[in-house]
């Protein structure tokens, strides 16, 4: 018995024809209406060898996180709100670790130095870590257990590379005061892992190792700094009661070199060929060491009359600040234009090698 139209079954071909009529499967409705043609899918674009493992599925996002008992804040690069990105479709971003000063925190440093917001706006991922609980500051070579925070930062970088999509050729550190000392110490302490560092009010709290890996160093310091003296000598004007017990130098020496001599020491360590000076702004003198080994560079901005402060930000009660130059903008310019590098592996030097002669130097003895 023949089927009447009313009783005819609605098979797959008829359903597909209906969808074609509605435009739902227009891309696949050519030729046989029972066949859906699929475009071949090519291989995923290769991940650059300098991209961190986090580019294949990292889980860290903007916000507060915790690692080895310490908090850290993450600010990832800003994305246009009208063009949301697929989380799996990321480009490796350069990283800045921003290290706070004594008796401060990662959050306070983010507000004070402004690197988190300004850096994210320029495509950087910025991380603001806290120092260890019980001591609101960073251990430096020359103190008892002086390599502890160098080890922590190295482990934190490993953790960040797993959780974030980072360009491992372009990892940087910046810091204020005690944090500036750690940023400078990381040049040698991390065995060349960093492409650049910025030290605000604290370059002379650390000194070069015998042959540091070529690095971009940018430093800022006020001539009237009462905490970390520009001309060297004892910090806090010689008032040792302001130096926490955990920060006391192992050899008992509290003397620091001048900031100018500390910068020159880095220039010699990088085998820089020339040193030039120029006015960067009214009352701000920039001295640059260039022609260095493998594109290393040192720039020191000396701010006449300024105290212990981050240029471009507000004063923190230890002398005047300045608006004649913005350390945040200059640092980001230096990191954005500096030469990144590729490291197949990172070698950590012996913790006993902390000075040009391999001694535990008073240059790193006491750090605010």
In a domain, 46, yes or no: no
In a domain, 121, yes or no: yes
Residue 338, pLDDT score: 72
Q: State the Cα–Cα distance between residues 29 and 43, nearest whole angstrom.
A: 26
- Is pLDDT larger for residue 354 or for residue 287? 287
In a domain, 68, yes or no: yes
Q: State the Cα–Cα distance between residues 251 and 201, nearest whole angstrom.
A: 23
In a domain, 27, yes or no: no
| Cα–Cα distance list, 332 to 78, 131, 174, 349 (Å) | 15, 23, 10, 28
Q: Judge contact between 96 and 186, C-beta under 8 A.
A: no
In a domain, 19, yes or no: no
Question: 3-state DSSP call for residue 288?
Answer: strand
Tell me the pLDDT tens digit for each residue of 32-90.
Answer: 444 445 555 555 556 778 899 999 989 999 999 999 999 999 999 997 544 444 444 46
Average pLDDT value over all residues in the chain: 83
In a domain, 180, yes or no: yes
In a domain, 161, yes or no: yes
> Which domain does 142 fall in, by range?
55-80+90-364
* CATH number of domain containing 319: 3.40.50.1820
Q: Judge contact between 148 and 171, C-beta under 8 A.
A: no
Q: State the Cα–Cα distance between residues 94 and 75, nearest whole angstrom.
A: 12
In a domain, 9, yes or no: no
Sign of CA dihedral 320, 323, 325, 326: positive
Q: Judge contact between 172 and 334, C-beta under 8 A.
A: no
Domain count, the chain: 1
Tell me the pLDDT tens digit for each residue of 289-342.
Answer: 999 999 999 999 999 999 999 999 999 889 999 999 999 999 999 999 876 665
């Amino acid at each position: 018995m023949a089927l009447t139209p009313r009783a005819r079954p609605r098979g797959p071909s008829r359903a597909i024809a209906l969808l074609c009529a509605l435009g739902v499967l227009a891309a696949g409705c050519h030729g046989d209406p029972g066949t859906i043609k699929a475009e071949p899918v090519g291989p995923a674009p290769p991940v650059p060898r300098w991209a961190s493992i986090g580019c294949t599925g990292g889980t860290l996002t903007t916000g507060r996180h915790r690692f080895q008992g310490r908090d850290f804040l993450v600010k990832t690069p800003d994305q246009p709100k009208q063009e949301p990105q697929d989380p799996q479709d990321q480009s490796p971003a350069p990283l800045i670790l921003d290290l706070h000063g004594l008796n401060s925190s990662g959050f306070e440093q983010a507000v004070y130095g402004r690197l988190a917001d300004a850096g994210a706006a320029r495509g950087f991922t910025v991380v603001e870590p806290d120092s260890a609980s019980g001591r609101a500051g960073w251990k430096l070579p020359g103190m008892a257990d002086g390599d502890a925070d160098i080890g922590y930062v190295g482990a934190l970088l490993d953790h960040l590379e797993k959780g974030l999509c980072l360009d491992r050729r372009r990892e940087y550190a910046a810091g204020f005061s005690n944090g500036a000392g750690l940023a400078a110490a990381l040049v040698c302490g991390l065995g060349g892992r960093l492409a650049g560092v910025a030290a605000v009010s604290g370059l002379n709290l650390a000194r070069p190792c015998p042959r540091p890996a070529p690095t971009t160093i940018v430093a800022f310091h006020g001539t009237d700094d009462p905490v970390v003296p520009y001309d060297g000598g004892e910090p806090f004007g010689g008032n040792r009661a302001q130096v926490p017990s955990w920060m006391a130098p192992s050899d008992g020496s509290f003397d620091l070199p001048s900031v100018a001599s500390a910068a020159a020491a880095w220039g010699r360590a990088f085998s820089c060929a020339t040193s030039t000076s120029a006015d960067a702004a009214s009352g701000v003198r920039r001295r640059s060491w260039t022609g260095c080994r493998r594109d290393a560079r040192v720039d020191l901005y000396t701010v006449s009359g300024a105290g212990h402060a981050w240029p471009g930000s507000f004063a923190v009660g230890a002398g005047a600040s300045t608006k004649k130059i913005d350390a945040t903008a200059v640092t980001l310019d230096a990191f954005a234009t500096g030469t990144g590098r590729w490291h197949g592996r990172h070698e950590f030097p012996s913790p006993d090698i902390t000075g040009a002669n391999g001694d535990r130097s008073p240059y790193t003895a006491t750090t605010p």
